[in-house]
């Protein structure tokens, strides 16, 4: 039974668009995507535009085309999508940041120029590794050379703002090699680098392989080391870590993603896309036929909805906010959760306890993770998520 | 029915000697239950009983048996076989005049058979010896009959040899019950006196009271009074067990049955109480039962503090049908509010725990079982100590005494050596040794009850290849070099993990406990230090290293709800966690300590 159709979000609300197709599913990936072969890409674009018509906010501050692999769309379809969104939202005049996720196999000079022409200003390229064996293990359909070519193509096309996605702690990846790859990437002078520790998410091939013993996870020390040297090397290259896995040149932090970590509202359209509006979080149907059917019937495809209680809002603010190097301002956390004064703030006592233990530090009015707290950010988050009442 | 045609009896047997099977055959042969309705072990109606193949609660059934053209009413009151349920056996025996002593013809007389048979002898029962499993190739009826005679001084030359499984000769047992067991001696014309020997709670009908009419009779719509509690009720329904409850008009002197009266107040009914007519003439109360002696204490804490009230209701319900269970509120720094429960023994404790979980759907944490200690203070006064947490500091008492059990073990002669060894290892003092027959011997030791509680029975079983059996009774308290073994988590004593042990064992036990805790307590944001100590003296340490890496690499808008739920997953598990200071101790950690010393 679908929850009530939410009203259109206020003008300026950030917009996320989910394109659920990839050339092939990567073995570690747990985002919702399917192989594009034989899919009705056009039908999907039209459905997303139909949903935008009902739900997309006017003049969004930021737009993010994610997936899946948006760059996989042929140029005419990209045009149809972005022109369509422009008609509904007028994002081209208002958005300060428009990102499209790209993969090397579908990003050449022509595609990059087309994206820029259509109003995209930020390209996020999934390189993931510079080791061909590891790329094969990951199930990627490109090699390291193609990755570097895609980056060059983006720059040659004049992309002003480029992010590179990388993964460390892959099975068998020596720290020395990672250091070397990192240097080569930083030498390209990207504006932004997302570097993730490899994870073994549920319902991925990697998880199955791990359980079957077909691949081996790196030792905890190695994961910690590769995590630490990534921050160091990025910092030395002028890209400060502003989030657990994200590094940027000053002013090039991803404004769209900051919305998530700040707990601000956003609208997501497309299969499986989530939204946060007011004190509610909701998500769309995942299965493509179900999504298409729902859109055709009603213009929306909301599958689930949760109401966030004040305590949960407070805990979420701390959890997500502590992922950022700027940390959390308790007063703002309280305000977003609807708590009156510091006297009734249950999070403060937890935060102070974590300060005593050396996992948090206080800088001015804000709390943030210490170098000791950073690698155990989830355990810190858990104390807020499970202990506040 | 004419009391002369009534016979009330019970069956005394060791576990696995075939008591329930014999009862089933009796029901079948007499047509009380049709063969197609027959479920094996019909009398054991609690799920747990059926699962474990042991009888916990006394049950009753009325059987009609024809002999020489006359129909007799035989009331079988089933008794539990396990040593822990000694008290239940006593209750059942008081409601009848005779017993069938059932002994496995290959296993022979076992320690519990002896203990229960003595109870029957004390209750003035006529005893009918029966040898079971006579069709088994290893049956040795003559030798076992000799064992019965030498261990119990009961004439057994005419013991009936049966196979409860096939039903062979079971009719002879029924005949002999009619011939040998005297009819009830009560006066049918006298004012009503009935003995409450059991009670169960039914959600729809209230309390169902099991009774044995001693004098007079009881009818539906009688106003009756329970002498002990003084409560007055009108009987709504009277009936017999056949074996299902079956309504009848009245129960006469000598008969066994039940009544229902919409009693919802659990405290109103007390097993052992005497039932009389409210407006009837004054009569003497029937001899009550001795207060049960609690041997083992443990604390139950609801995992979810909101369940505290439900737990009390559940314990009250269990107490109703099990007057040998006791409980009182208790508070612990580490575990919050809970109840200290007194049990007859370890099996009793385990069964209560499982019934609370299964029948009342409660999640709980149970502390290590402890015996009751006696402290002699500096002023020469004696105090009872039911838990390690309640023990005063050593400088405030003269002596710490523990209960001593006289343990009687029946074992095949070739195992005398190993049995002596484990008994001595468990601080036992030899009392005597007696040969029951050429192949079986009775060995008696005085052993501290606390030693028996942990693993003595398991050890006896394993060192006698399963042939050894034991029975015990508490003979008194004795001072020894006992100390409180404290368990500290990050410097804070956790009373639920502490125990009282003999000084010579403190070290080994302390180490074993810490090893188990180390395995069960998850890694935290900080190092968790575990220590075992006597006073300020640290005996053992273990450390659980702090978490080093626990961080989600990717966390974006589409995924926040799912990731949060993953992080909160531990919250569901948290219901089974307890916080001691900042340390989360899972219930499993508490339970793992229960096993006592690691099996060597």
Whether B437 and B395 share a structural domain:
yes
d(CA B116, CA B80): 10
Q: Is residue B289 one of the residues assigned to a domain?
A: no
Whether B526 and B424 share a structural domain:
no
The minimum CA-CA distance between A7 and chain B, rounded to whole Å, is 20
- Confidence tier at B58 by pLDDT (50, 70, 90): very low
Whether B352 and B390 share a structural domain:
no
Instruction: State chain B's mean pLDDT as an integer.
Output: 83
Q: What pLDDT score does B458 carry?
A: 73
Whether B359 and B437 share a structural domain:
no
More confident residue, A35 or A42: A42
- Confidence tier at A6 by pLDDT (50, 70, 90): low
Q: Contacts from A280-289 at CB under 8 Å and sequence distance 24+?
A: A280/A6, A280/A305, A280/A306, A280/A307, A280/A308, A281/A305, A281/A306, A281/A308, A281/B560, A281/B561, A282/A3, A282/A6, A282/A306, A283/B558, A283/B561, A284/A18, A286/A32, A288/A20, A288/A34, A288/A39, A288/A44
Contacts of B77 (CB under 8 A, 6+ apart): B8, B9, B10, B58, B59, B60, B92, B95, B96, B197, B212, B256
End-to-end alpha carbon distance in chain B: 60
End-to-end alpha carbon distance in chain A: 30
Whether B171 and B30 share a structural domain:
yes
More confident residue, B47 or B249: B249
If one counts the domains in chain B, the total is 5
Domain range holding B227? 193-277
The minimum CA-CA distance between A345 and chain B, rounded to whole Å, is 19
d(CA A254, CA A102): 15
Q: What pLDDT score does B289 carry?
A: 52
Last residue of a domain, which of B367, B393, B414? Answer: B367
CATH code, domain with B263: 2.40.30.10
Give, for A170, the enclosing helix (H) or strand (E): none
More confident residue, B369 or B546: B546
| pLDDT surpasses 90 at B576 | no
Lowest mean pLDDT of A37-46, B116-125, B518-527, name the range. Answer: B116-125
Number of H helices, E strands in chain B: 14, 33
CB B41 within 8 A of CB B51: no
Whether B49 and B172 share a structural domain:
yes
Q: Is residue B90 one of the residues assigned to a domain?
A: yes
Whether B497 and B391 share a structural domain:
no
B575 interfacial to chain A (CB closer than 8 Å): no
The minimum CA-CA distance between A262 and chain B, rounded to whole Å, is 11
More confident residue, B470 or A352: A352
CATH code, domain with B448: 3.30.70.240
More confident residue, B201 or B40: B201
How does DSSP assign A57-89, residue by residue?
A: PSS-SEEEEEES-GGGS-HHHHHHHHHHHHHHH
Phi and psi at B476, nearest 5°, equal: 160, -170
A220 interfacial to chain B (CB closer than 8 Å): yes
| pLDDT surpasses 90 at A388 | no
d(CA B476, CA B409): 19
Task: Give B564's contacts in chain A (Cβ within 8 Å).
Answer: 316, 319, 385
Q: Rounding to the nearest 10 degrees, give the CA dihedral for residues A45, A47, A52, A54.
A: 170
B557 interfacial to chain A (CB closer than 8 Å): yes
Q: What pLDDT score does B596 carry?
A: 39
Residues A94-153: pLDDT tens digits? 999 999 999 999 999 999 999 999 999 999 999 999 999 999 999 999 999 999 999 999
Whether B131 and B21 share a structural domain:
yes
Contact A379 B547 (CB under 8 A): yes
Residues B414-423: pLDDT tens digits? 999 999 999 9
Task: Give A281's contacts in chain B (Cβ within 8 Å).
Answer: 560-561
Looking at the partner chain, which of B525, B559, B571 has a beta carbon nearest the beta carbon of A357?
B525
Contact B553 A223 (CB under 8 A): no
Q: Is residue B570 one of the residues assigned to a domain?
A: yes
The minimum CA-CA distance between A46 and chain B, rounded to whole Å, is 21
Query: Please, what's the b/e burial string for B356-390 (b: 16 or more CB within 10 A of its CB; e: otherwise)?
Result: beeebebebbbbbbbbbbbbbeeeeeeeebbbbbe
Return the bridge partners of B585, or none.
B578
Contact A378 B571 (CB under 8 A): no
B571 interfacial to chain A (CB closer than 8 Å): yes
d(CA A127, CA A143): 9
Looking at the partner chain, which of B551, B561, B570 has a beta carbon nearest the beta carbon of A377?
B551
CATH code, domain with B305: 3.30.70.870
Peptide bond preceding B471 in cis form (omega within 30 of 0): no
Whether B162 and B45 share a structural domain:
yes
d(CA B517, CA A124): 48
CB A118 within 8 A of CB A79: yes
* CA-closest candidate to residue B387, choices B406, B404, B366: B366
d(CA A177, CA B10): 82
Q: What pLDDT score does A253 carry?
A: 98
pLDDT more than 70, % of chain B: 88
Whether B442 and B533 share a structural domain:
no
How does DSSP assign A221-244, residue by residue?
A: HHHHHHHHHHHHHHHHTT-EEEET
Residues A207-221: pLDDT tens digits? 999 999 999 999 999
Q: What pLDDT score does B115 carry?
A: 76
Contact A374 B551 (CB under 8 A): yes
CB B93 within 8 A of CB B125: yes
Task: Give B573's contacts in chain A (Cβ within 8 Å).
Answer: none
Q: Is residue B417 one of the residues assigned to a domain?
A: yes
Last residue of a domain, which of B309, B342, B367? Answer: B367
Q: What pLDDT score does B56 carry?
A: 41
Q: Is residue B188 one of the residues assigned to a domain?
A: no
| pLDDT surpasses 90 at A3 | no
CB A253 within 8 A of CB A261: no
Q: Is residue B434 one of the residues assigned to a domain?
A: yes
Give chain B's radius of gyration (CA, Å). Answer: 27
Q: What angle do CA A253, A258, A260 make, to 5 degrees?
A: 155
The minimum CA-CA distance between B524 and chain A, rounded to whole Å, is 8
A311 interfacial to chain B (CB closer than 8 Å): no
Looking at the partner chain, which of B549, B564, B582 has a beta carbon nearest the beta carbon of A375?
B549
- Confidence tier at B598 by pLDDT (50, 70, 90): very low
Looking at the partner chain, which of A32, A66, A281 has a beta carbon nearest the beta carbon of B561?
A281
B357 interfacial to chain A (CB closer than 8 Å): no
Q: Is residue B285 one of the residues assigned to a domain?
A: no
* CA-closest candidate to residue A245, choices A179, A186, A198, A194: A194
CATH code, domain with B157: 3.40.50.300
HSE-CB for A43 with a 13 A CA cutoff = 11
The reported pTM is 0.62
Best mutation target among A18, A257, A379 (most B Cβ atoms within 10 Å) is A379
B548 interfacial to chain A (CB closer than 8 Å): yes
Contacts of B204 (CB under 8 A, 6+ apart): none
Whether B499 and B419 share a structural domain:
no
Best mutation target among B305, B544, B549, B574 (most A Cβ atoms within 10 Å) is B549
More confident residue, B330 or A54: A54
* CA-closest candidate to residue A318, choices A310, A330, A306: A330
Q: What pLDDT score does B597 carry?
A: 35
When pLDDT is averaged across residues B31-56 and rounded to a whole number, the result is 54
Residues B184-197: pLDDT tens digits? 988 889 999 998 88
More confident residue, B369 or A261: A261
Instruction: State chain A's mean pLDDT as an integer.
Output: 94
| pLDDT surpasses 70 at B288 | no
Q: What pLDDT score does A10 carry?
A: 94
Whether B71 and B150 share a structural domain:
yes
When pLDDT is averaged across residues A350-372 and rounded to a whole number, the result is 95
| pLDDT surpasses 60 at A29 | yes
Best mutation target among A222, A285, A304, A376 (most B Cβ atoms within 10 Å) is A376
CB A40 within 8 A of CB A29: no
Contact A381 B570 (CB under 8 A): no
- Confidence tier at B85 by pLDDT (50, 70, 90): low
A63: left (phi over 0), alpha (psi -120 to 50) or beta: beta
ipTM of the complex in this document: 0.92
| pLDDT surpasses 80 at A31 | yes
Count of Cβ atoms closer than 10 Å to residue A73 Cβ: 28
Last residue of a domain, which of B322, B342, B367? Answer: B367
Contact A306 B561 (CB under 8 A): yes
The minimum CA-CA distance between A389 and chain B, rounded to whole Å, is 12
Residues B487-529: pLDDT tens digits? 999 999 888 788 889 999 899 989 999 998 999 898 998 999 9
Walk me through the domains of chain A, giving residue ranges and CATH numbers. 15-261 (3.20.20.70), 310-387 (1.10.10)
Q: Is residue B125 one of the residues assigned to a domain?
A: yes
Cβ-Cβ contacts under 8 Å between A and B: the total is 103
Number of H helices, E strands in chain A: 15, 16
């Amino acid at each position: 039974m679908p929850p009530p159709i939410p009203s259109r979000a206020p003008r300026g609300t950030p917009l996320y668009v989910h394109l659920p197709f990839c050339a092939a599913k990567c073995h570690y990936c747990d985002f919702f995507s399917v192989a594009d072969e034989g899919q009705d890409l056009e039908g999907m674009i039209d459905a997303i535009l139909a949903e935008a018509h009902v739900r997309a906010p006017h003049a969004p501050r930021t737009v993010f085309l994610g997936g899946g692999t948006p760059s996989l769309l042929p140029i005419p379809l990209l045009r149809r999508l972005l022109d369509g969104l422009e008609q509904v939202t007028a994002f081209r005049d208002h958005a300060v940041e428009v990102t499209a996720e790209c993969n090397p196999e579908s990003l050449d000079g022509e595609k990059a120029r087309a994206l820029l022409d259509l109003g995209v200003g930020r390209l996020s390229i999934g390189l993931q590794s510079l080791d061909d064996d590891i790329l094969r293990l990951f199930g990627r359909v490109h090699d390291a050379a193609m990755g570097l070519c895609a980056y060059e193509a983006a720059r040659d096309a004049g992309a002003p703002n480029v992010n590179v996605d990388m993964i460390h702690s892959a099975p068998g990846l020596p720290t020395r090699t990672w250091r070397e790859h990192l240097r080569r990437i930083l030498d390209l002078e990207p504006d932004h680098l997302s570097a993730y520790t490899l994870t073994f998410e549920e319902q991925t091939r990697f998880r199955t392989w791990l359980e079957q013993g077909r691949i081996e996870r790196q030792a905890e020390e190695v994961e910690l080391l590769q995590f630490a040297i990534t921050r160091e090397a990025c910092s030395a290259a002028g890209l400060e870590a502003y989030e657990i896995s994200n590094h940027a040149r000053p002013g090039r932090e991803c404004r769209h993603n900051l919305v998530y970590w700040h707990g601000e509202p956003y609208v997501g359209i497309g299969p499986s896309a989530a939204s946060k509006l007011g004190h509610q979080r909701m998500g769309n149907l995942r299965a493509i036929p179900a999504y298409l059917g729902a859109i055709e019937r009603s213009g929306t495809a909301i599958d689930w909805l949760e109401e966030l209680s004040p305590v949960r809002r407070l805990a979420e603010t701390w959890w997500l906010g502590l992922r950022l190097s700027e940390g959390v301002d308790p007063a703002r956390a309280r305000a977003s959760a609807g708590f009156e004064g510091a006297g009734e703030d249950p999070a403060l006592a937890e935060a102070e306890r974590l300060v005593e233990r050396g996992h948090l530090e206080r800088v001015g009015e804000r709390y943030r993770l210490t170098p000791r707290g950073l690698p155990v950010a989830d355990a810190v988050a858990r104390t807020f998520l499970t202990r506040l009442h | 029915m004419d009391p002369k045609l009534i016979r009330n009896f019970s069956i005394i047997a060791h576990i696995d000697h075939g008591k329930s099977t014999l009862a089933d055959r009796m029901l079948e042969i007499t047509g009380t239950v049709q063969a197609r309705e027959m479920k094996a072990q019909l009398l054991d109606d609690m799920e747990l009983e059926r699962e474990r193949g042991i009888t916990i609660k006394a049950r009753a059934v009325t059987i009609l048996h024809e002999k020489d053209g006359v129909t007799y009413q035989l009331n079988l009151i089933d008794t539990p076989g396990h040593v822990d349920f000694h008290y239940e056996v006593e209750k059942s025996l008081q409601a009848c005049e005779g017993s069938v002593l059932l002994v496995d013809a290959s296993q022979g007389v076992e320690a519990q058979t002896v203990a229960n048979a003595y109870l029957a002898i004390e209750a003035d029962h006529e005893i009918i010896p029966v040898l079971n499993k006579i069709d088994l190739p290893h049956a040795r009826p003559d030798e076992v009959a000799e064992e019965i005679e030498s261990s119990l001084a009961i004439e057994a030359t005419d013991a009936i040899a049966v196979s409860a499984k096939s039903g062979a000769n079971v009719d002879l047992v029924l005949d002999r019950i009619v011939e040998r067991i005297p009819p009830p001696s009560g006066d049918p014309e006298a004012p009503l006196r009935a003995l409450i020997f059991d009670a169960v709670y039914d959600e729809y009908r209230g309390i169902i009271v099991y009774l044995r009419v001693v004098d007079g009779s009881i009818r539906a719509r009688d106003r009756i009074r329970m002498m002990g509690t003084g409560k007055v009720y009108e009987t709504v329904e009277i009936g017999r067990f056949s074996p299902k409850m079956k309504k009848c008009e009245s129960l006469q002197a000598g008969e066994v049955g039940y009544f229902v009266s919409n009693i919802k107040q659990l405290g109103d009914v007390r097993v052992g109480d005497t039932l009389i007519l409210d407006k009837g003439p004054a009569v003497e109360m029937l001899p009550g039962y001795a207060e049960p002696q609690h041997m083992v204490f443990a604390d139950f804490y609801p995992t979810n503090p909101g369940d505290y009230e439900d737990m009390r209701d559940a314990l009250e319900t269990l107490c109703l049908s099990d007057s040998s269970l006791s409980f009182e509120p208790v508070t612990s720094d580490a575990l919050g509010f809970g109840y200290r429960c007194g049990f007859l023994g370890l099996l009793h404790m385990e069964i209560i725990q499982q019934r609370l979980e299964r029948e009342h759907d409660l999640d709980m944490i149970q502390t290590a079982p402890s015996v009751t200690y006696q402290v002699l203070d500096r002023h020469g006064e004696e105090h009872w100590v039911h838990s390690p947490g309640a023990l005063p500091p050593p400088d405030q008492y003269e002596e710490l005494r523990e209960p001593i059990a006289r343990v009687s073990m029946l074992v095949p002669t070739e195992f005398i050596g190993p049995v002596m060894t484990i008994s001595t290892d468990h601080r036992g003092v030899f009392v005597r040794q007696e040969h029951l027959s050429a192949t079986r011997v009775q060995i008696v030791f005085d052993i501290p009850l606390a030693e028996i509680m942990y693993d003595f029975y398991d050890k006896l079983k394993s060192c006698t290849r399963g042939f050894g059996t034991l029975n015990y009774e508490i003979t008194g308290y004795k001072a020894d070099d006992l100390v409180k073994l404290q368990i500290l988590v990050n410097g804070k004593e956790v009373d639920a993990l502490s125990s009282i042990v003999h000084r010579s064992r403190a070290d080994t036990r302390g180490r074993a406990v810490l090893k188990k805790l180390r395995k069960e307590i998850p890694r935290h944001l900080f190092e968790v230090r575990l220590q075992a100590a006597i006073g300020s003296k640290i005996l053992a340490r273990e450390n659980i290293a702090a978490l080093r890496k626990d961080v989600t690499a990717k966390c974006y808008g589409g995924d926040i709800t799912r990731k949060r739920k993953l992080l909160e997953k531990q919250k569901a598990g948290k219901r089974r966690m307890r916080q001691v200071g900042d340390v989360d101790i899972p219930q499993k950690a508490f339970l793992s300590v229960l096993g006592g010393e690691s099996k060597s």
